[in-house]
Amino acid sequence: MIILSSVDTKGIAAAVGQAKAAGIPIISVDTISEGGVNASVTSDNVQAGRIAGEYLVKRLNGKGNIAVLDGPPVSAVTDRIAGFKEALKTAPGIKIVANQNGNGNRETSLAKMETILQANGKGQIDAVFAINF
């Protein structure tokens, strides 16, 4: 049995197909990997993003500037961002002023956040939504 959580859900498809052809069961965790996995175990990432967005809407009283640091474009990340943005639609006074991909790497994310803060000036970012680090 292979249990995987892929950072490249499309790129792993050939390997998943080979393992499946060899009769090895494949279970994907927290991402939907291509290639014909036997089962997937995932959290509701849309709901998780929505909960985070609703929290920030409440904390910011419906207005403010948010920076988003996301990660590799896998289902867990894209779903969480979708839920987050869905929640922000209820607060037109909240703006996403920066959206950067930290590539799941702390050093890259730190550099991206430093750039965001420098570009927006002191006190211009009211909240940060960062995932997958």
**What Å distances lie between residue 52 and 8, 20, 75, 129, CA to CA?**
25, 37, 17, 8
Check whether residue 55 and residue 79 sit in a common domain: yes
**Mean pLDDT of all residues in the chain?**
89
pLDDT digits (tens, 9 = 90+) for 69-78: 998 887 788 8
CB atoms within 10 A of CB 10: 12
Is 70 exceeded by the pLDDT of residue 8?
yes
For residue range 59-115, list pLDDT tens digits in order.
Answer: 999 999 999 999 888 778 889 999 999 999 999 999 999 999 988 888 999 999 999
Percent of the chain scoring above 70 in pLDDT: 98
Same domain, 58 and 115: yes
Residues 94 and 57 in one domain: yes
Residue 19 shares a structural domain with residue 84: no
Same domain membership, residue 34 and residue 65? no
Q: Tell me, what CATH number does 76's domain have?
A: 3.40.50.2300
67 φ, ψ (degrees, to nearest 5): -105, 140
Based on the fold, state whether residues 125 and 66 are members of the same structural domain: yes
- Using the structure block, give the residue that is written with the tokens 């929505």: 50
Do residues 98 and 120 lie in contact, with contact meaning Cβ atoms separated by under 8 Å? yes
33 and 85 belong to one structural domain: no
pLDDT at 121 over 90: no
Band the pLDDT of 126: cuts 50, 70, 90: very high
Q: Helices marked H in the chain — which ranges? A: 13-21, 45-59, 75-88, 106-120
Residue 132 has pLDDT above 80, yes or no: no
Q: Is the same domain home to 75 and 100?
A: yes
Report the percentage of the chain scoring pLDDT > 90.
Answer: 52
Tell me how far apart the alpha carbons of residues 43 and 29 are, in angstroms, rounded to a whole number.
Answer: 9
> Residue 133: is its pLDDT beyond 90?
no
Same domain, 70 and 104: yes
Domain count, the chain: 2
Same-domain status, 7 and 59:
no
Domain ranges, residue 15: 2-41
Q: Does residue 57 have a pLDDT over 90?
A: yes
Whether residues 37 and 50 fall in one domain? no
Do 61 and 118 sit in the same domain of this protein? yes
Closest CA to 53 of 92, 99, 89: 89
